Structures are given as C-alpha cells and as structure tokens.
C-alpha cells in the first residue's frame, strides 16, 4: 500500500471515530435513561438538544445508570 493511501485511510478512520463514539454514547444514554426520560422529560419537545438539557436539569432525580451515561457524554 502506498503511503498516501495509508495516510488517507488513517485520516478517514480518525474522522469516523468521534461519530462512532458519539453514536455509542447516545445508544447507552437511550438504554440507561428511557424510564427517566418518561418520568421527567416526556413533555419536552424533541430537537436542538432539549431532551438532553432536560435530563441534565433533572440530574438529581435520575437513576444512577442514567447519570453515569450522561457523565460520559461530551459537553458536560
């Protein structure tokens, strides 16, 4: 493999890592926080990060698995 091809492959892989990690974090959050969402944020409109903001605003009342999942997300 040429150096240019190896470099391009590494750059593409590096660019995909944050998106993959973000998707994994979102899945973990959905699994850990589904009951908390229904209890505290079900009436919150979707979009623009409003549900995540609602969960963070209600952190003291959330289950420990949900709080743990929230703490692993970027931007905390």
Q: Where are the domains of the chain?
A: 3-71
Distances (CA, A) of 33 to 2, 8, 17, 28, 36: 46, 38, 24, 8, 5
Give the model's pLDDT for residue 64: 96
Contact 68, 32 (CB under 8 A): yes
pTM higher than the cut 0.85: no
Give the model's pLDDT for residue 26: 77
DSSP 45: P
Taking the chain (76 residues) in runs of 10, the rounded mean pLDDT of each run is 63 58 77 92 90 92 93 74
Tokens of 65: 């698995």
């Amino acid at each position: 493999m040429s150096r240019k091809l190896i470099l391009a492959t590494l750059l593409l892989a590096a660019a995909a890592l944050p998106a993959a990690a973000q998707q994994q974090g979102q899945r973990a959050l959905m699994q850990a926080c589904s009951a908390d969402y229904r209890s505290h944020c079900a009436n919150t409109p979707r979009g623009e990060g409003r549900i995540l903001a609602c969960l963070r605003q209600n952190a003291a009342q959330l289950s420990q698995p949900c709080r743990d999942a929230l703490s692993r997300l970027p931007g905390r």
